[in-house]
Amino acid sequence: MSEVLGSELASEPIAVPEEKEFSDIQIVLFELAGKKYGVDVSQVQGVVDIMKITSIPKAPYYMEGVTNLRGEVLPVVDLRKKLGLQARDADAPFNMIIINTKKKAIGFTVDQVNVVMDIDAGDISVVPGIANTGDNDAIFGVAKHKEYLILLIDLLKITGTIDENILEGWE
């Protein structure tokens, strides 16, 4: 499932308009703990299947460790843990979404990546304020699609809450 999704990658978190009006977006749809999430395709460098992850002693709770992707050592974040969700089973399969920050590419483990899809602006609603606390402030909208809801997440905003010591020296 390895693929590169775009040459123009976002390097800044997504700006949510003050008027709470959204634009049509294209997302990478993925699952975490039985819920559907979407990240703007412009933030995604690629998606890879299960890779060997080397754990790092005394790393923050949400750090899975590091992995080697085409000769580059990447830090790997467990998105379930970072969002305060129940940890996945140790032997459960997963995918990794790779994003680029200003300092370093980072891998986020997710349960499953589904598809790349278009979301119409009219199908996006603002997240209730009570849901926007801590790392959840990266969830900027909820999209209605068929019979389910998709939580729209800004992974670059999540990287802003990762311990700076982890990204230090990875430039």
CATH value of 3-11+18-160 in 2.40.50.180, 2.130.10.10, 2.70.98.50, 3.40.50.300: 2.40.50.180
Residue 50 has pLDDT above 50, yes or no: yes
- Give the Cα separation of 156 and 92 in Å (integer): 26
Distance of CA 20 to CAs 121, 138, 158, Å? 11, 15, 21
Under 8 Å between Cβ of 53 and 106 = no
Token readout for 36 is: 């559907």
Q: Which of 12, 19, 26 is nearest to 119 (CA)?
A: 26
Please write down the HEC assignment for all residues of the chain: CCEECCCCCCCCCCCCCCCCCCCCEEEEEEEECCEEEEEEHHHEEEEECCCCCECCCCCCCCEEEEEEECCEEEEEEEHHHHCCCCCCCCCCCCEEEEEECCCCEEEEEECEEEEEEEECHHHEECCCHHHCCHHHHHEEEEEEECCEEEEEECHHHHHCCCCHHHHCCCC
**What is the distance between the terminal CA atoms of the chain, rounded to a whole angstrom?**
27
Q: Within a 13 Å sphere around the CA of 119, how many CA atoms are in the beta-carbon half?
A: 28
Q: What is the pLDDT of residues 54-66, one digit of tens each?
A: 999 988 889 999 9
Which pTM was predicted? 0.80
Task: Using the predicted structure, report yes or no on whether residue 36 has a pLDDT greater than 70.
Answer: yes
| Residue 110 binned pLDDT confidence (cut-offs 50, 70, 90) | very high
Q: What are the boundaries of each domain within the chain? A: 3-11+18-160
Which pLDDT does position 81 carry in this prediction?
Answer: 93
